[in-house]
Amino acid sequence: MRWMRAAGRGLLAVAVVLTGYMASGVPSPGVEGAGGRGPMTLATAGDLTGYLGPVLDGWNRAHPAEQVTLVELPDSADETRAQMITDLRSGGGRFDLLNIDVAWTSEFAAAGWIAPLERGRFPLESFLQPVVNTATYDGRLYAVPYVTNAGMLFYRRDVLDREGLRPPRTWAELERQSRTVAPRYGLDGYAGQFLPYEGLTVNAAEAVYSAGGTILGDEGQRVTVDSTAAREGLAFLARGVRDGWIPEEALTYKEEESRRAFQDGRLLFLRNWPYAYAGASGARSKVAGKFGAVPLPGPDGPGASVLGGSNLAVSSHARHPESARDLIAYLTSEGVQRRVLSEGALPPVRAALYEDPALVARFPYLPALRTSVLAAAPRPKSPHYEQVSLAVQAVAHDAMAQHQTPEAAVRRLAAELAAIARRR
Ligand code: GLC
């Protein structure tokens, strides 16, 4: 469906550009050459809430000679990254502006695939500060934060109210309610994104961070994962599957599968990004008006989310870099950032929106989300991030599938990360 909509939009954009050219017989002034202005593409992972097309239409109406065509890549972070890299490695051409996951800035910058940007040109001081760090590499700005993200715990408020319970703030409470309350209502207990892909790296890192552990230090050169905290984190996830309060099916979930399980009324608790709020409140949801979202729990109190989100970066091969930079300024403007939240259900990067009374009334989880974003921990930093992530996913999956004890899994991860660090 989304592919069809995206293709339709692409055709429309092309048609508008051609009309612009033909009306005057020659390209309008400033289309080529002058400061690198002209049409461009914006590549992004799947637009799960379908809001971006209309936002870009706004730009296209105002910039007939600098039309942007949306290229929607797959929903899964890993597949999107692979498609972007295939193009960038071969000299680029398909994608001018890239909406990249916050986890990739270092890797893309180190490889020379994205061009540095001038700080003064973008309203960085209006952004939530932790997100700005995800856009820098080696002291330079290589991207501009666009959307931020923090994992939250979605819970069935109707069920907990009936039981006189508060949403869990500790793993022990989450585990107890998943084991004892969920079955009484015909529900499964807890799920997150547990298929081996970037989402599992995030969920595993959150468990490790929440227990007070870390994975790597010193920009990827020091391996810090061999700790009691990391074992405790993986043991929490592995125990859930072993004892049945994490359904085995969750080992196949990415964001969308897990969102559907929750909104179809099959789960008591779900770890997901805030975008899931929109679907779960929608007309097709069985849990609309019956759920809430709170910060993730940890071993003895609130846990730590991994910082998610995406940054806008200009490809080193961009055909029209000036237009691409102007489009970044448009997408990070107050007006568009408001729509990112109100139409896209995505967490904006502009700090003031989290305190806007009208938005808080419409999105009651905003204050909790702001707390989660400000406390969120970045993913391990490494120019070999992909290999690091693959190693984390593989051991987390093996521990959850009961193929390896959490102790053995952590030892193996430490050895694999040390081998990756030696490759630099
Ligand atoms: C979300 C986050 C992103 C993360 C991905 C994992 O898209 O915003 O940072 O890498 O999920 O699946």
Query: Would the pLDDT of 219 be above 80?
Result: no
Separation of CA 308 and ligand 1 centre (Å) = 5
pLDDT value of residue 424: 64
User: Does 336 contact ligand 1 (Cβ within 6 A)?
Assistant: no
Whole-angstrom distance, CA of residue 149 vs CA of residue 296 = 13
What confidence tens digit (pLDDT) does each residue in 325-344 have? 999 999 999 999 999 999 99
The answer to whether the CB of 192 is under 6 A from ligand 1 is no
Q: Give residue 65 CA to ligand 1 midpoint distance, Å.
A: 33
- Cβ of 321 closer than 6 Å to ligand 1, yes or no, is no
Distance (Å) of CA 348 to CA 100, 117, 199, 296, 353: 15, 21, 20, 20, 8
> Would you state the pLDDT for residue 423?
84
> Which residue has better confidence, 185 or 138?
185
Bridge-based pairing of strands 144-150 and 307-314 is antiparallel
pLDDT tens digits along 348-368: 999 999 999 999 999 999 999
Q: Which of 44, 273, 372, 390 is the best mutation target for the ligand 1 pocket, counting ligand atoms within 8 Å of the beta carbon and taking the most?
A: 273
Residues 268/177, Cβ–Cβ less than 8 Å: yes
Share of the chain above pLDDT 90, in %: 86
- Residue whose CA lies nearest to ligand 1 atom number 12: 199
Mean pLDDT within 300-329: 97
Question: Among 16-20, 62-66, 386-390, which is the least confidently predicted range?
Answer: 16-20
Residue whose CA lies nearest to ligand 1 atom number 9? 308
- The structure tokens listed for 281 are 């409140």
For ligand 1, is residue 72 a contact (CB within 6 Å)? no
Please return the burial class of 15, using the count of CB atoms within 10 Å of its CB with bins 0-12, 13-18 and 19+: exposed
Q: Whose CA is nearest to atom 2 of ligand 1?
A: 308
CB 402 within 8 A of CB 362: no
For ligand 1, the distance from its centroid to the CA atom of residue 101, given in whole angstroms, is 7
User: CB atoms < 10 A from the CB of 11, how many?
Assistant: 11
Mean pLDDT of the chain: 91
- Residue identifier of the C-alpha nearest atom 7 of ligand 1: 309
Structure token digits, residue 283: 């007309």
Output the pLDDT for position 34.
45
| CB-based contact 93:317 (threshold 8 Å) | yes
Q: Determine whether the shortest distance from the Cβ of 398 to ligand 1 is under 6 A.
A: no
Q: Is the CB of 276 under 6 A from ligand 1?
A: no
List the domains of the chain with CATH numbers.
2-149+307-374 (3.40.190.10), 150-306+379-421 (3.40.190.10)
Q: Work out the number of other CB atoms within 10 angstroms of the CB of residue 279.
A: 20
Which pLDDT score, from 0 to 100, does residue 310 have? Answer: 98
pLDDT band at 220 (very low <50, low <70, confident <90, very high): confident
In short, whether 199's Cβ falls inside 6 Å of ligand 1 is yes
Return the pLDDT at 12.
Answer: 38
Q: What pLDDT digit, counting tens, does each position of 233-278 carry?
A: 999 999 999 999 999 999 999 999 999 999 999 999 999 999 999 9
Check pLDDT > 50 for residue 2: no
Question: Does ligand 1 have an atom closer than 6 angstroms to the CB of 273?
Answer: yes
Find the mean pLDDT for residues 75-88.
94
HEC per residue, the chain: CHHHHHHHHHHHHHHHHHHHHHHHCCCCCCCCCCCCCCCEEEEECCCCCCCHHHHHHHHHHHCCCCCEEEEECCCCHHHHHHHHHHHHHCCCCCCCEEEEEHHHHHHHHHCCCECCCCHHHCCHHHECHHHHHCCEECCEECCEEEEEEECEEEEEHHHHHHCCCCCCCEHHHHHHHHHHHHHHCCCEEEECCCCCCHHHHHHHHHHHHHCCCCCEEHHHCEECCCCHHHHHHHHHHHHHHHHCCCCHHHHHCCHHHHHHHHHCCCEEEEEECCCHHHHHHCCCCCCCCCEEEEECEECCCECCCEEEEEEEEEECCCCCHHHHHHHHHHHCCHHHHHHHHHCCCCCECEHHHHHCHHHHHHCCCHHHHHHHHHHCECCCCCCCHHHHHHHHHHHHHHHHCCCCCHHHHHHHHHHHHHHHHHCC
* Residue 149, ligand 1, Cβ within 6 A: yes
Q: Pick from 292, 209, 305, 202: which is nearest to 254 by CA?
A: 202
Q: In what order do the strands lie in the sheet with 97-101?
A: 68-72, 40-44, 97-101, 307-314, 144-150
Q: Is the CB of 196 under 6 A from ligand 1?
A: no
Task: State pTM to two decimals.
Answer: 0.89
The residue whose CA has the least distance to atom 3 of ligand 1 is: 308
pLDDT interval class at 18 (50, 70, 90): very low
pLDDT digits over 174-214, tens only?
Answer: 999 999 999 999 999 999 999 999 999 999 999 999 999 99
Average pLDDT of the residues in 11-34 = 35
Q: Give the model's confidence band at 16: pLDDT under 50 very low, under 70 low, under 90 confident, else very high.
A: very low
Helix crossing, 52-62 with 2-24: angle to 10°? Answer: 0
* Contact status, residue 339 vs residue 55, Cβ threshold 8 Å: yes
Kindly state if the Cβ of 306 falls inside 6 Å of ligand 1.
Answer: no
Residue 6: is its pLDDT beyond 70?
A: no
- pLDDT value of position 30: 33
Strands 68-72 and 40-44: parallel
